[in-house]
């Protein structure tokens, strides 16, 4: 049973001087979800944007807002990210001592709950919360920056998470260094949601985004037995 294929452009790689327009362009170009990377300069060595920015760009697309929190602590901010218009809120296993509580809190806010694993964290770290999540996000780079190279061991971890999910309705998402060249291997291992920043936003205009998204989708559809 395959979950739908999702291409989720990360606007971290977009032109921040016209963020609303970039969200609209990538929506029109065929994005399934909009991936939002929130960084605090503490959990990760970079600072991006917060709930007010997400609220400001919310009107530019009706697509799923997939918010990836790379912040610690996260609990005090979950409500703000829910109110800003996130549909999915993902927190990191490594971000705090009370992962179970954070996931419960996200669901209590009426949002889909995701859990993310850094490259050095094994799949087993989420075994005890697997029934509390709608999505597992496997980091295939060390979080903090776009434009890094895909870490190959993520492929094995995708398969391990898929086994752990054991047919539950959980999206398996991969984030970092995803391109049309590795999308087939990622999909073959069992991921259905592919985040891509630089590989989508290269070219800088809607026509380029459309071609870039189509190339990733085409590559990922192959091993799924889907023709696009």
Phi, psi of 192 (to 5 degrees): -115, -10
87 in catalytic set: no
Cα separation, 148 vs 57, in Å, equals 26
Task: Kindly tell me which residue out of 13, 31, 57, 161 binds ligand DX5, with binding defined by CB under 6 A.
Answer: 13
Question: Using N-to-C axis directions, what is the helix angle for 206-221 and 19-28, rounded to 10°?
Answer: 50
Contact, 122 vs 154, CB < 8 A?
no
Choose the stretch contacting Zn ion; rule: CB under 5 A; options: 18-26, 66-74, 152-160, 216-224. Answer: 66-74
The first and second tokens of residue 111, run together, are 């949002």
Does 148 bind ligand DX5 (CB under 6 A)? Our answer is yes
Q: Which is nearer to ligand DX5, 70 or 123 (CB)?
A: 70
The verdict on whether omega for the bond into residue 29 sits within 30 degrees of 0, i.e. cis, is no
Q: Give min distance, CB of 46 to ligand DX5, in A.
A: 8
Quickly tell me which residue has 């780079």 as its tokens.
141
Question: Which residue has the CB atom at the shortest distance from ligand DX5?
Answer: 197
Binding mask 20-39 for Zn ion (x = CB under 5 A): -----------------x--
List 40, 66, 171, 175, catalytic entry: 175
* Overall size of the chain counted in residues: 228
Give the residue, chosen from 6, 12, 26, 71, that forms a contact with ligand DX5 under the rule CB under 6 A: 12
Question: Site for ligand DX5 (CB under 6 A): which residue of 30, 51, 143, 190?
Answer: 143
Q: Which of 151, 99, 106 is nearest to 125 (CA)?
A: 99
The answer to whether 75 and 101 have CB atoms below 8 angstroms apart is yes
Would you call 175 a catalytic residue per the annotation?
A: yes
Q: With binding defined as CB under 6 A, does residue 9 bind ligand DX5?
A: no
Residues that bind ligand DX5 (CB under 6 A): 10, 12-13, 35, 37, 68, 141, 143-144, 146-148, 175-178, 195-199
């Amino acid at each position: 049973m395959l979950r739908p294929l999702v291409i989720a452009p990360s606007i971290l790689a977009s032109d921040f001087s016209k963020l609303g327009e970039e969200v609209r362009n990538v929506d029109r170009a065929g994005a399934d979800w909009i991936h939002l990377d929130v960084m605090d300069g503490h959990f990760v060595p970079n600072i991006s944007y917060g709930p007010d920015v997400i609220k400001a760009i919310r009107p530019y697309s009706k697509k799923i807002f997939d918010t990836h929190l790379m912040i610690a602590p996260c609990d005090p901010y979950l409500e703000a990210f829910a109110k800003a218009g996130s549909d999915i809120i993902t927190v990191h296993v490594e971000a705090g001592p009370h992962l179970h509580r954070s996931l419960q809190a996200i669901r209590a806010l009426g949002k889909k709950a995701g859990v993310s694993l850094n490259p050095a964290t094994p799949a087993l770290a989420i075994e005890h919360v697997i029934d509390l999540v709608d999505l597992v996000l496997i980091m295939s780079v060390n979080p903090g920056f776009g434009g890094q190279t895909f870490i190959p061991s993520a492929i094995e971890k995708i398969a391990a998470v898929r086994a752990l999910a054991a047919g539950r309705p959980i999206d398996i998402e991969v984030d970092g260094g995803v391109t049309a060249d590795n999308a087939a291997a990622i999909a073959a291992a069992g991921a259905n949601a592919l985040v891509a920043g630089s590989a989508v936003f290269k070219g800088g205009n809607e026509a380029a985004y459309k071609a870039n998204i189509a190339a990733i989708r085409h590559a990922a559809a192959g091993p799924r037995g889907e023709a696009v």
